[in-house]
Amino acid sequence: MKTSEFSDAFKEARQEKGIGQMNDQNDPVKMVLRHKEVRKCAHNWKAFQSGAEPGRIVIPSEVNIRDTRQIPFEVDPPEHKSFRDLVEPWFKRPLETVYQNGITKIIEEVVDNAINNDSLEVVSEFSLPLQSRALTFLLNTPYSESDLWISWGTHVFRSEGSDLDADKANILYDYIDKEIDRAIKNPSDDLYSVLLASEVNGKKLTKEEVKGVLVLTFAGGRDTVINAVTNSISYFAEHPKSLKMIKENPEMINNAVEELVRYFSPLTQMGRVVTEDTQVCEHAVKADTRVSLCWASANRDENVFEDANEVVLDRKVNPHVAFGFGVHNCLGATHARQILRVLLSILSQKVTSIEILEAKENIEDLENFKRKVGFDCLKVKFNK
């Protein structure tokens, strides 16, 4: 199998039953695998809620390492809308020219650095710095902060081997608490200060609510962005013609980005807690149990995508759900898309080929399903 190939781990179960099953810390999950059902459940926020105990909709569950409710992610309508409306304009800033110029500079820097190295480990020396530096733009905080964030590694809640790590999580919580106190003393124009000065439904946001938005911002777009970037590098390493095609037809970049996120689906699934006895895909699900919306499976659904297991960079109709679906669709999607678009543009202009020197796959273990989600290590050489 090619390094850049990501097979569909859910095919059989999706076709046969439409449902998968996994245990997760004794809180089992019924995984919804078909595109149509995934969208249906995502739409039905009343029966499939996000505003459950903090951490419970995440798989693996974070209830043991997190008390702070992530906002707006773990809040349901109608309250959800008020929070979402508040933060939405801030998370749309990536569309502004100044923001794009900032991201462009960061990506040019990491690509130039890669070109000047004989061997580069993409996850730790390319994608992680890129993600953390770009995050300074999303938060509107000093660039120098990113050095600390880079030192936290690819996941803020998990350490090597993907285990949930309470000590590591506390590093993030303490950091955010301190930053909130700093912003109270010395307000600036960063996300902390803007949130602290904001109101929802006529009430000032509490420190805990501000923390909830920040925890989501730090945690939610971290390993996902890192995987999307790393996997894209592996793809272009094995498809130099595609890189050339993008160079010659830069207008195809937006479609190419959508197709890469569909194919890689950096977030495999997201859970919901069932609020009433009901059915998914003709399977009974009980109140207070968990289902998951398996974006990765839905994105390979053969009833929706022609050649679902191929990367078709100029795919025209692409109703993928890699950024989720419904009211909880990914808040960071504008930022993530902008990073990937700029990356493709700069890569295609500056790099002619990428050689893979070494690759170690990162396989997510979902009991009955083993899914390649990215790489633990990807050593490459970029050629001008």
Nearer CB in complex with ligand EMZ: 157/173: 157
Q: Which residues of 164-196 are buried (b: 16+ CB within 10 A; e: fewer)?
A: bbeebbeebbebbeebbeebeeeeeebbbbbbb
**Does the bond joining 60 to the residue before it have cis omega, within 30 degrees of 0?**
yes
Select the residue interacting with ligand EMZ from 8, 37, 62, 125 (CB under 6 A). Answer: 62
**Does the bond joining 72 to the residue before it have cis omega, within 30 degrees of 0?**
yes
Length of the chain: 384
- The residue with its CB nearest to ligand EMZ is 220
Shortest distance, CB of residue 19 to ligand EMZ, whole angstroms? 22
From 183-191, 214-222, 284-292, 346-354, span contacting ligand EMZ (CB under 6 A): 214-222
Nearer CB in complex with ligand EMZ: 60/102: 60
x/- map, 22-41, ligand EMZ, by CB under 6 A: --------------------
H-assigned helices in 197-332: 207-220, 223-238, 240-248, 253-264, 295-298
H-assigned helices in 45-127: 79-91, 97-115, 122
Nearer CB in complex with ligand EMZ: 297/348: 297
Nearer CB in complex with ligand EMZ: 216/304: 216
Using CB under 6 A as the binding rule, whether residue 18 contacts ligand EMZ is answered as no
**Cα separation of 54 and 302, whole Å?**
34
How many chain residues interact with ligand EMZ (CB under 6 A)?
10
x/- map, 145-174, ligand EMZ, by CB under 6 A: ------------x-----------------
Nearer CB in complex with ligand EMZ: 179/223: 223
Cβ neighbours for 370, distance < 8 A, ≥ 6 positions apart: 9, 363, 364
**Cα separation of 4 and 374, whole Å?**
9
Helix (H, G, I), strand (E, B) or coil at 204: strand
**Cα separation of 104 and 383, whole Å?**
20
Using CB under 6 A as the binding rule, whether residue 216 contacts ligand EMZ is answered as yes
From 107-115, 218-226, 276-284, 373-381, span contacting ligand EMZ (CB under 6 A): 218-226
**Cα separation of 384 and 381, whole Å?**
10
Using CB under 6 A as the binding rule, whether residue 70 contacts ligand EMZ is answered as yes
**Chain positions contacting ligand EMZ, by CB under 6 A:** 58, 62, 70, 73, 157, 216, 219-220, 223, 267
